[in-house]
Amino acid sequence: MSKEKILVVDDEEDILELVRYNLAREGYAVTCAASGEAALKSAMSDPVDLIILDLMLPGIDGLEVARRLKQNSGTKDTPIVMLTAKGEEADIVTGLELGADDYVTKPFSPRILIARMKAVIRRRSGIVEPESEVLTIRELSIHTGRRHVTAAGKSLDLTYTEFQVLHFLARRPGWVFTRSQIVDAVRGDDYPVTDRSVDVQIVGLRKKLGPLGKYIETVRGVGYRFMEN
């Protein structure tokens, strides 16, 4: 069975070769790009199953690359794993807000990078709930199979993570979940995300939900819940 196609983007030749070698050894088809411009051209002309994206790139940086990919209809659903230097929490939060699926800090272990990448692919290709299942709460409708949400009859454009968070909370109205529980449910056990990153997803959801955003309630000192009434 053929393996997925991966685009690796980094301006450091040794890192490109390190990642390419390890991915190829795992059986993946690998394409490399050394700049943001090259990454955009490659991703839009030759679709891939996942992008490993360095943030510190000459010219168009990694965050701008991610932003453009998520705005393009042909690449908006392509999962992205960011590579970032330690301590760049602001960039990590921005990347996750743009819709990136995971991040790995430099210096990194190729084995950990590949494990994270495989986890993202598994989540994206996992079995979805029956298409006929529609979760309806007040004026909010969540179609699990189509991954489609409407609020007061208006269709919402949610990122992958925003949909997962909303669905997780709305399935259990009234239940209070910690940020760690939300992360575990949406991204898997031991995902190293900051509390601030979870808060960013909630802020984005509330904004897109408009007046219905008030039903995602902050429980001070604990986490979040979707209000029952």
Among 125, 149, 174, give the residue marking a domain's end.
125
Question: Based on the domain organization, do 73 and 109 belong to the same domain?
Answer: yes
User: What integer pLDDT is reported at residue 127 of this predicted model?
Assistant: 41
Question: Based on the domain organization, do 146 and 111 belong to the same domain?
Answer: no
Three-class secondary structure of residue 154 per DSSP: strand
Question: Based on the domain organization, do 9 and 95 belong to the same domain?
Answer: yes
> What's 214's domain CATH number?
1.10.10.10
Three-class secondary structure of residue 162 per DSSP: helix
Distance from C-alpha of 229 to C-alpha of 225, rounded to nearest angstrom? 12
Question: Based on the domain organization, do 206 and 169 belong to the same domain?
Answer: yes
CB atoms within 10 A of CB 1: 3
Question: Based on the domain organization, do 118 and 145 belong to the same domain?
Answer: no
Among 87, 102, 125, give the residue marking a domain's end.
125
Question: Based on the domain organization, do 64 and 168 belong to the same domain?
Answer: no
Distance from C-alpha of 9 to C-alpha of 35, rounded to nearest angstrom? 7
Among 125, 160, 184, give the residue marking a domain's end.
125
CB atoms within 10 A of CB 143: 16
Instruction: Find how far residue 128's CA is from the centre of its chain.
Output: 17
Nearest to 51 by CA among 85, 91, 96, 82: 82
> What's 95's domain CATH number?
3.40.50.2300
Question: Based on the domain organization, do 154 and 185 belong to the same domain?
Answer: yes
| Structural domains in the chain (count) | 2
Question: Based on the domain organization, do 66 and 108 belong to the same domain?
Answer: yes
Amino acid at 203: V
User: What integer pLDDT is reported at residue 191 of this predicted model?
Assistant: 52
User: What integer pLDDT is reported at residue 229 of this predicted model?
Assistant: 65
Question: Based on the domain organization, do 112 and 143 belong to the same domain?
Answer: no
Find the domain containing 49 and state its range: 5-125
Tokens for 12? 């450091």
Where residue 5 falls (left for φ over 0; alpha for ψ -120 to 50; beta otherwise) is beta
User: What integer pLDDT is reported at residue 138 of this predicted model?
Assistant: 82
DSSP state of 157: -
pLDDT block averages, 10 residues each, the chain of length 229: 85 94 94 96 94 92 93 91 75 79 85 85 59 76 85 88 88 84 69 68 91 91 83
Question: Based on the domain organization, do 16 and 120 belong to the same domain?
Answer: yes
CB distance 142 to 149 below 8 Å: yes
CB distance 110 to 116 below 8 Å: no
Angle at 63 between CA 60 and CA 64, to 5 degrees: 45
